[in-house]
Structure 1
């Protein structure tokens, strides 16, 4: 796209027509799948539309790439969660296998938990998950992570506060 005045605003329709092919090509190179690239390109523009904010003419490709990258991470996270969940289900006896509705609800719940924990430092997230979902005490988590019990307490408190803020913002 040509150089733009830094105060200029680009209408979404113009951005779509001028940069869609570039975004699609970038996503195809990144993902290696034209179908996924098309879906994510469309989702990127839908995200911009939902944002309902003016789009600066300064570095529009960087904005598109940043949004698309976030959507890719979300997609990969959902895929990883789904694979892990399905692998766990495969270990269950057939009699205990949940219905499709329950499986969908569980996957949606796992995705929401992942979104809640997004943005936490890995050490904080791991301490929180071990404590809350792993059923370990602060001391056990500390031993497993090689940190002090007080550090685990701070990590868990930080994660709880983060989740509270995300839920009630």
Structure 2
């Protein structure tokens, strides 16, 4: 398909579904501005994925993309709030520049995605080892698992972390 045809398809998709998607988002977010932003982000993602021409059920696809973006938005808010709470609890008030704050939030988002990908057991083992400072034997005892099982989960989690660093 030519670039002109692709542009026309995207234009038709936007014209035919933007108002509907913005309304759908407004009902879920109760905020016109956030709904408008997420609707735009949804169409940008569709445009970047070059999917407009392939869509048989455009509204289903758009809601799926929008829902994913909404989940990311809520996750980010939750991480930002937790970060602000940690800063507020510090004895000496730390003031980050907006750039530093954005870098930290992005890093925390990556760690959150990594932890989410580990599954419940892997996430628990990783947190117990890295945050709580427990040994693999202590973790195995607490979770009623073999040390070998805990070691495998921990190695898998650390490998994920190393891939994240790349």
Q: Normalising TM by the smaller chain, what interval?
A: 0.7 to 0.9
Corresponding residue for residue 24 of structure 2: 26
Cα distance in structure 1, aligned partners of 2:105 and 2:82:
10
Cα distance in structure 2, aligned partners of 1:107 and 1:43:
19
1:89-142 deviation digits (Å, cap 9, x = unpaired) = 111123x52433543432222122223334332332232233233322223333
TM-score, normalised to structure 1's length? Answer: 0.77
In the alignment, which of 134, 137, 141 is matched to residue 136 of structure 1?
134
Q: Do 2:9 and 2:53's aligned partners in 1 also have CA atoms closer than 8 Å? A: yes
Cα distance in structure 2, aligned partners of 1:119 and 1:11:
35
User: RMSD of the alignment, in Å?
Assistant: 2.6
Cα distance in structure 1, aligned partners of 2:52 and 2:156:
34
- Mapped pair 1:99 → 2:96: yes
Corresponding residue for residue 12 of structure 2: 14
Instruction: Look up the SS of the partner of 2:117 in the other structure.
Output: coil
| Greater share of residues in helix | 2
Cα distance in structure 1, aligned partners of 2:21 and 2:40:
10
Alignment CA distance shift 1:118-1:48 (3 Å): farther
TM-score, normalised to structure 2's length? Answer: 0.78
The alignment of Structure 1 onto Structure 2 pairs a total of residues equal to: 159
Question: Which ranges in structure 2 are unaligned for 5 or more consecutive residues?
Answer: 1-5
Q: Do 1:117 and 1:163's aligned partners in 2 also have CA atoms closer than 8 Å? A: no
